[in-house]
Amino acid sequence: MKVDVFKIAQSGPDDLSGLAALVQQGTLDPKTIVAILGKTEGNGCVNDFTRGFAVATLKGYLRGLMGDELLNQVVFVMSGGTEGVLSPHMTVFTRQSEGLVEPTQTGLALGICHTRDFSTDEIGTLTMVEVVAEGVERAIAAAGLTAEAVHFVQIKCPLITAARYTQAAITQDSYKSMAYSRGASALGVALALGEVQRGDLTAADICHNYRLYSSVASTSAGVELQNCEILVLGNAPQSHSRYRIGHSVMAHALDIAAVNRAIHSAGGVGKGGQIVNVFAKAEADPSGQLLGHRHTMLDDSDINHTRMARAVVGAAIAAVVQDPMIYVSGGSEHQGPAGGGPIAVIVV
């Protein structure tokens, strides 16, 4: 397998000029696209239509180039919210399996899976955890990876809007439903990777017992889908990819040592190596404190705390890598420890 990774700036949710240029130059063959991760400039919360706008625009463009069958297999993960310095962009993952002549080495491999649609009363429940876990296992198998070789699992998951409240099992607050959906999806990853055992997990743990978490899960909720779309990334021993991935866990929002650990885990930079993109999760520490000092994010009724968390973690990481065009997604329930989150780095 040969995986390539393209980071493309966007001037708006519907800006495909960068992608189209790569396609026209022959640098990127659209038929090989398997996943697109985007940071779009909406609020990243319930009424964020930039995610749907971006996906609709991409699908409209790609349909003619790929055909419906291939297109339907692509994983689209649009994460809303480019607060602070974060710069809107997309990361396109391509995969080729045939005609590969380059010598193999340890390098990037990926697998994807689309779960079935979830009913509103399943969102945020153990059923969701289990269905996601099964999907992650299938994606790992598709990638030809072992659980140990997985460095990042990105999932796009649904939420509950006001129009569907009456069927909801977990919450009747749409913003809150995003947290439950993210949390259950992340526990699904933890289950699939053996980070959490099924017997240790009860319904009451979801979005409450944050000692249970995955170190590689990154989950993002959106109004624009009803199922989960899963992307698994890891290093395979015999890959044709030039890219490598590594990861670490940020213990808190300002844990910049973890950024350097993740870069090191990916093989380091300098001597020809450079960072393609950083992928991280952010949340306002639920304790209301950070490094022993009070923060005000959770009591702010003007700006949702996920927005501020992205601004903070985005700035901290961007300051280390001196690049604000990175992927930082908000709400890290069961993704890393409380107040922290996983961070992955792809280098080339």
Residue 334, token pair as written in the block: 């069961």
Contact 230, 113 (CB under 8 A): yes
Task: Report CA 276 to chain centroid distance, whole Å.
Answer: 15
119 is in an annotated binding site: no
335 is in an annotated binding site: yes
Mark the segment that binds a copy of itself (CB under 8 A) among 121-129, 180-188, 191-199, 300-308: 300-308
Backbone angles phi, psi at 26, to 5 degrees: 80, 5
Specify the residue, 120 or 241, whose C-beta has the smaller distance to a copy of itself. Answer: 120
267 is in an annotated binding site: no
46 binds a copy of itself (CB under 8 A): yes
52 binds a copy of itself (CB under 8 A): yes
- Scored b (16 or more CB within 10 A) or e, 73-94 reads ebbbbbbbbbbbbbebbbbbbb
- Please return the burial class of 251, using the count of CB atoms within 10 Å of its CB with bins 0-12, 13-18 and 19+: middle
Residue 26, token pair as written in the block: 């022959």
Tell me the residue type at 42: G
100 binds a copy of itself (CB under 8 A): no
Decide if 2 is catalytic.
no
9 binds a copy of itself (CB under 8 A): yes
45 binds a copy of itself (CB under 8 A): yes
Residue located via tokens 């998951």: 157
DSSP 8-state assignment for residue 271: T
80 is in an annotated binding site: yes
Residue 184, token pair as written in the block: 């259950």
Residue 3, token pair as written in the block: 């995986």
**Alpha-carbon gap, residue 221 to 79, rounded angstroms:** 8
- Convert residues 150-169 into a mask of x (bound to a copy of itself by CB under 8 A) and - (unbound): -----------xxx-x----
Residue located via tokens 């670490």: 248
3 state SS of 216: coil
Specify the residue, 65 or 256, whose C-beta has the smaller distance to a copy of itself. Answer: 256
Mark the segment that binds a copy of itself (CB under 8 A) among 81-89, 110-118, 232-240, 267-275: 81-89
271 binds a copy of itself (CB under 8 A): no
311 binds a copy of itself (CB under 8 A): yes
Specify the residue, 131 or 326, whose C-beta has the smaller distance to a copy of itself. Answer: 326
Active-site residue identified among 156, 181, 215, 265:
156
**Alpha-carbon gap, residue 183 to 66, rounded angstroms:** 33
Report 101-130 residues binding a copy of itself (CB under 8 A).
Answer: none
230 binds a copy of itself (CB under 8 A): no
209 binds a copy of itself (CB under 8 A): no
Decide if 156 is catalytic.
yes
Active-site residue identified among 220, 239, 241, 248:
220
User: Least distance from C-beta 315 to a copy of itself, angstroms?
Assistant: 4
263 binds a copy of itself (CB under 8 A): no
Mark the segment that binds a copy of itself (CB under 8 A) among 36-44, 67-75, 195-203, 340-348: 36-44
- Which residues on neighbouring strands pair with residue 6, listed in sequence order? 92
| Nearest-5° Cα angle at 188, 253 to 180 | 60
3 state SS of 116: coil
Specify the residue, 112 or 308, whose C-beta has the smaller distance to a copy of itself. Answer: 308
End-to-end CA distance of the chain: 16
**Alpha-carbon gap, residue 158 to 134, rounded angstroms:** 17
Q: Mind telling me the catalytic residues?
A: 156, 220
Task: Catalog residues that contact a copy of itself under the rule CB under 8 A.
Answer: 9, 11-14, 41-43, 45-50, 52-53, 56-57, 60, 82-88, 161-163, 165, 172-176, 223, 253-254, 256, 286, 288, 290-291, 293-304, 307-308, 311-316, 318-320, 322-325
User: Which residue positions form the known binding site for Mg(2+)?
Assistant: 283, 332, 335-337, 340
